[in-house]
Each structure stands twice: as C-alpha cells, then as structure tokens.
C-alpha cells in the first residue's frame, strides 16, 4: 500500500522567514516521483516542485527546495523568504513510476503572517 | 487560458438527483484524471483515461458514478441518485505521457458539489 503522511495540519511563518513542511511516505517501490502541490484558498491546485526518486540531488525552484531522504522515505519542503502569496494548503503527493494516479497526504495549511 | 477547465464550478442538488460535471483538459494532454476531495483531506483518485479509453477505476467509484471521454478530449463525470456523502470537490487533472518523466498532472479548479 502507498501512503503519504503530513504530520503538521497547520503551520505559520512570519513574512520573509523560512519554513519547512514535512512529509513521509511508505512504499515498496524503488522508482517513483514525489510532488508538492499548493492549493490557495478557493483556487486551483498548482505544482510547486517535483522530485524523481532516482535523482539524489534535491530539486529546487526559486524559493522552494526539497530535502529528499530516500532511505528515510522523507520529502520535506523548504520555503525561503516567505511571501503573503504563499498562504495556502500544501499537499505532498507520490506516484510510483508507471502508475496512473497520485497518492496525496492530508495537507498542511500554511499561513504567512505579515 | 490554456489550463484545465471545469464546469460548473458549483452545483447544489437534492438527494436522489443526477448530476454531470465536465472537464476540458489542456489541449495536447492525452491523459485525464478525476479525483474527489472532501473537507480536510487530500484528493483521492477516482478514475483515469488515456485518450478515450478508461483504463483504471478506483474502488471509490461506485456503480452510481460513470465517467466518459468520448473523443479523447473533454470528459464528463456523472453521479446518479446522489447521496449526501457525495458532497465534495471533484477535481480533474490532465497530463501528457509521451515521456513518462514529463507526466506531471495539472489540475483544474474543481466542481464543488453539495447534496442537500
């Protein structure tokens, strides 16, 4: 079974500070992809960053970076220089290579405080 | 706007009625997915199309649910004899699988269904 766990239901961060959202997953697959999606209030889900499991180098996208620890099955998201527009639900998601669907965690609600 | 679109955005219906939602994927995407998201939860997979073929269905997709993608473009999701437990956000996503490494799913804004 594939499961994704986000243990932080809510987090807050001061504007311009750094915050890290945690995600762990459970799978017996060796090849897979991991994603962080952002869902702003009343707006659609957008991809923040993705990581291929076969790549040891952590993915980065501007202010967003991940800490991928394959052995620990951990995939945390770091947001640097937090902005008010970062306020959203953040979902960690996983898909085995060749699978046809994403498995999502329950999300972390992030609030950026001015 | 070349993103995934969904209509209607909101639907309120009475228990027992049938509802149909539409999803228009990104035009060059050959894969289309339906998910359901209830309050406080992440999206859960319902079904998946490759072109016009429905290749996978979740056990969440009861026989009251049916999805089609007749010409490999837009898709419809119909729920018959709606129940209050069907109240949720229904999300559509699309992707392009020519190169599996590029198979990122792009989501639409969703259709929020409320069953009274």
Using a CB-CB cut-off of 8 Å, the residues of chain A touching B108 are 44
Yes or no, beta carbons of B107 and A46 under 8 Å apart: yes
Query: What are the CB-based long-range contacts (under 8 Å, 24+) for A48-51?
Result: A48/A77, A48/A90, A49/A77, A50/B104, A51/A75
Q: Residue A114: which pLDDT band, with cuts at 50, 70 and 90?
A: very high
What is the average pLDDT across B1-21? 93
Q: Could you say which of B45, B56, B109 has the minimum Cβ distance to residue A102? A: B45
Shortest Cα–Cα distance, B91 to chain A (Å): 9
Closest by CA position to B16, among listed B78, B80, B112: B80
User: How many CB atoms sit inside 10 A of residue A85's CB?
Assistant: 9
The answer, for B41 touching chain A at a CB cutoff of 8 Å, is yes
> CB under 8 Å to B105, separation ≥6 — which residues?
A47, A102, B31, B33, B93, B94, B95
Q: Map A33-99 to HEC letters.
A: EEEEEEECCCCCCEEEEEEECCCCCCCEECCEEEEEECCCCEEEEEECCCCHHHCEEEEEEEEECCC
Helix (H) or strand (E) holding B55: strand B53-57
CB A104 within 8 A of CB B42: yes
Write out pLDDT tens, residues B27-62: 888 999 999 999 888 999 999 999 999 988 998 888
The answer, for B105 touching chain A at a CB cutoff of 8 Å, is yes
Is 60 exceeded by the pLDDT of residue B1?
Answer: no
pLDDT score at A97: 80
Is 90 exceeded by the pLDDT of residue A73?
Answer: yes
Phi, psi of B84 (to 5 degrees): -60, -30
**Integer Cα distance of B56 and B85 in angstroms:** 22
Using a CB-CB cut-off of 8 Å, the residues of chain A touching B97 are none
């Amino acid at each position: 079974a594939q499961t994704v766990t986000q243990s932080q239901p809510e987090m807050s961060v001061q504007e311009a500070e750094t915050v890290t959202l945690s995600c762990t997953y459970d799978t017996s697959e060796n090849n897979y992809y991991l994603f962080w999606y952002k869902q702003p209030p009343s707006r659609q889900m957008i991809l923040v960053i993705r990581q291929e499991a076969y790549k040891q180098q952590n993915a980065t996208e501007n202010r967003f970076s991940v800490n991928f620890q394959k052995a620990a099955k951990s995939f945390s998201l770091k947001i640097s220089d937090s902005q008010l527009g970062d306020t959203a639900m953040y979902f960690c998601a996983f898909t085995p290579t060749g699978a046809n669907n994403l498995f999502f965690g329950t999300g972390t609600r992030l609030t950026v405080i001015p | 706007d070349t993103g995934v679109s969904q209509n209607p955005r909101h639907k309120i219906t009475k228990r027992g009625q049938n509802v149909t939602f539409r999803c228009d994927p990104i035009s060059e995407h050959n894969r289309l997915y339906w998910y359901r998201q209830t309050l406080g939860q992440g999206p859960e997979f319902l079904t998946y199309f490759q072109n016009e073929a429905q290749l996978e269905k979740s056990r969440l997709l009861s026989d009251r649910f049916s999805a089609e993608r007749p010409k490999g473009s837009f898709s419809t999701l119909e729920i018959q004899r709606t129940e209050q437990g069907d109240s949720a956000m229904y999300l559509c996503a699309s992707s392009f699988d020519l190169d599996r490494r590029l198979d990122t799913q792009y989501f639409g804004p969703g259709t929020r269904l409320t069953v009274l």
